[in-house]
Chain A
Amino acid sequence: MCNNIDVIISNMAAPVSGMGEAPAERLPINSTSFQKKTRSKLVSIPGTRPSVQNGQLLVSTGVTSLDYLLGGGLAVGTVLLIEEDRYDSYSRMILKYFLAEGVVCRHELFVATAQDNPDDILQELPAPILDDVAVPKAVEQPRLTGEPQDSLDAMKIAWRYQHLPKVQSALASSSRFGHYYDVSKTMEAEIRQAAKCHRFCLPDHVTPSSTAHRLESYSALLKSLQEVIHREGFDLAAPMSKSRNILRVGLHSLGSALWGDDLCCHDKPRHRHALTTFLYGLRALLRSSLSVAVVTLPSHLIQDRALMGSITRLCDNAIALESFKGSERETNPLYKDYHGLLYVRQVPHLNCLASQLPDHKDLAFKLKRKQFSIEPYKYLGAFGCEEARRRSKRKQL
């Protein structure tokens, strides 16, 4: 009986003569998506790579600096919690990066919102920068001769670049881990529609004014997610009848009052455990399937710090964003290079004893047009950034 996912994938190549008898080919039910690196066989799901530390399967969040903070990427089967900034601008941006990365890697998406239509988020996905995707192979082929269909396209001067894929077709061969996006443009509809997307809009499932709303919105979401996982074959225990893929789950503004929760409204909410029970069930679902989730939560509305602690512990990765918008720091020269601060609340240690703690605890982020950069915050002294730069330039001379 095989427990390793690399053996699952390698078994796909084997003849499927035994598929008629289902039990013989099934995985044991207690297998999960964490795999130890036992052999050097790599998993062939596009858009994933094994971690160098412990062989876990990782996917990119769409933000390469965030991937680095999380230890190379987001492990399949885990949850990333993003504590929203006050106006939900940057947390929503990271959620969009995550979903856009799923589209580019041909993963399936599952988006859930409480009030807005999930399509609103999907239509705002940033456009991928596709000419970055070309794999820089050493091209030593000679100029093309004897291939009539290429004679019109054959380059005469830049013939070394002949074999690099053209801009639009790069999407098909996206074996690179982590892409860059241009936030000033939205993803074209044809690229977006190529990805399979499952939507969950809460008003469709539970009427907002009903008494059931308060307690059942989370269980409806959990049930819907489980149905999608079973139906589309993301279960680890599912028979290997088709190629495996990753399901990217994006849950927007969980814990807000729109989900029927009163965590954000009262100091002592009556149903404090509704969200935490949901997160527990979410962890159970993710550990037993090939999926990964990003959850945004308006933590600034939750008064109970102890509850935030329990919520953070139930998610594997957790970061918090604090943007400078609207605060006095927006015009403070010390912070003018950045858009906000980023706190790493939790990094998991899965399948190993020690976690990879980040080197720096003070991190700041900046959303540039082609990159969301996260870097250690450099305090440049009382004179601020410009003065320090001038002084260091003088020293260089």
Chain B
Amino acid sequence: MFTELNSILSSSPDSVTPGEFILVSDRQSDASFLIHHFLSFYLRSRCKVIFLGLVQSFRHYSAVSQRLGVSLTQAKEKGQLVFMEGLKESLSVLIPQADNTESQAMNFLRDPPVGLRSLYEFVRSCAVGSGRAEDGAEEWGPPVLLVDDVSVLLSLGVDAGAVLDFSHYCRAAVCSQMKGNMVMLVRCNGEEEEEEDGEEGAEALLKGLTHQCSLNLHVQGLPTGYCKDIHGQVEVCWKRRQGDGPHTQRNLFQYKVHDKGASFFPRGTSSAVL
């Protein structure tokens, strides 16, 4: 959990605004450090977290969360965290064996055009399951869905439209019905001005998700070039419906990622410069 980011977003683990869809996006950069922030943030606020870790192993998230002060293994044992390790589950689908008893969540790999229905069913069953209080189990807060990352689904052959449907269904189930939150990471590779056909999928996905979300954190490299002390810039864009109609508010910060966190500062005020 990055304390500076909490103050920028005016959020704290004690008071979590329900029903938010936070989109973390990056362009030619790496915004996965923000996913680690949100993971530790929601675990600290005692929400039930459903994490779809599609690109890295559990060990990676566990090691980073340890540095941020949260233990994923403990959270898993207590039932607060449901971690779906995409890499591990995918092997049984990609290399079919006689006895595949793994869960059906990654079934879309067998036939990507079909869509992400099975993945959605998995998410829904985990989210709904949090409502039932089992004997002796602790009561957790509303469910939070974290996805890292959504763009890899495009690489695996799923259509951008199917991914948008998936995120819409999850938003309806998790954010509206169960008053939980959702955080997704989407990654883009091209320049914003280019309209290459190959990039259609990723750009369409980014635009569609930006439209659906309530808060967008867009990470980019510095427009002036590579710098060792400032790793890039984050544009924070709220889309809250205020009393006087839809109101978007944007703020731009620069950031630097450390070993145990990240620091955010307004443009031009990096400690390397001042």
Contact = CB atoms under 8 A, between A and B. Distances in A.
A90 interface: no
B264 to A, nearest CB: 14
Contacts of A309: 189-190
B25 interface: no
Interface in B89-112: 90-91, 94-95, 109, 112
Contact of B60 (A267, A306, A351, A355): A351
B197 interface: yes
A283 interface: yes
Q: Which interface residue of B55, B57, B58, B156 has the most chain A CB atoms within 10 A?
A: B57
B8 interface: no
B85 interface: yes
B88 A353 contact: no
A34 B63 contact: yes
A361 B226 contact: yes
A223 B30 CA distance: 31
B30 to A, nearest CB: 8
Contacts, number: 125
A367 interface: no
B88 to A, nearest CB: 7
B85 A280 contact: no
B204 interface: no
B261 A306 contact: no
Contacts of A352: 63-64, 67, 259
Contacts of A222: 94-95
B228 A359 contact: yes
Interface residues of A, number: 44
Contact of A305 (B57, B152, B198): B198
Interface string A291-316: 00000000000001111011001100
Interface string A92-118: 000000000000000000000000000
B36 to A, nearest CB: 6
A174 interface: no
A305 B198 CA distance: 8
Interface in A338-376: 349-355, 357, 359, 361
B155 A280 contact: yes
Given A284-B87, A353-B258, A305 B156 contact: no
B71 to A, nearest CB: 12
A354 B259 CA distance: 6
Nearest to B32: A349
Q: Which interface residue of B30, B36, B63, B85 has the most chain A CB atoms within 10 A?
A: B63
Given A277-B109, A305-B198, A287 B57 contact: yes
Contact of A219 (B55, B95, B156): B95
Contacts of A354: 33, 231, 257-259
B154 interface: yes
A148 to B, nearest CB: 55
Contact of B187 (A29, A32, A268, A313): A313
Contacts of B226: 361
B260 interface: yes
Contacts of B154: 310
B138 interface: no
A46 B57 CA distance: 25
Interface string A263-292: 000011000110011001101110110000
A353 B64 contact: yes
Interface in B189-217: 189-190, 196-199, 202
SS class, residues of chain A in contact with chain B: loop
A353 B152 contact: no
Nearest to A310: B155
B129 interface: no
Contacts of A359: 228
Contacts of A223: 95
Q: Which interface residue of A54, A310, A359 has the most chain B CB atoms within 10 A?
A: A310
A226 B95 contact: yes
A243 to B, nearest CB: 23
A279 B91 CA distance: 12
Contacts of A3: 59
Given A268-B197, A277-B109, A353-B260, A306 B88 contact: no
A32 B90 contact: no
Contacts of B112: 273
Nearest to B191: A305
Q: Which interface residue of A29, A281, A357, A361 has the most chain B CB atoms within 10 A?
A: A281
Contacts of B260: 353
B262 interface: yes
A307 B90 CA distance: 21
A353 B156 contact: no
Given A287-B57, A314-B152, A351-B63, A307 B198 contact: yes
A186 interface: no
B228 A306 contact: no
Given A223-B95, A281-B94, A310-B155, 20 more contacts: A30-B57, A31-B59, A32-B59, A34-B59, A34-B60, A54-B63, A219-B95, A222-B95, A226-B91, A268-B197, A272-B198, A273-B156, A273-B157, A284-B88, A306-B199, A309-B190, A351-B64, A352-B67, A352-B259, A353-B262
Interface of A: 3, 29-32, 34-36, 54, 219, 222-223, 226, 267-268, 272-273, 276-277, 280-281, 283-285, 287-288, 304-307, 309-310, 313-314, 349-355, 357, 359, 361
Task: Kindly list the 7 A-B residue pairs having the minimum CB-CB distance in the complex, ordered from nearest.
Answer: A309-B189, A273-B157, A351-B63, A284-B87, A276-B155, A306-B198, A304-B198
9 contacts: A54-B63, A277-B157, A281-B91, A284-B90, A284-B94, A287-B57, A305-B198, A309-B189, A353-B259
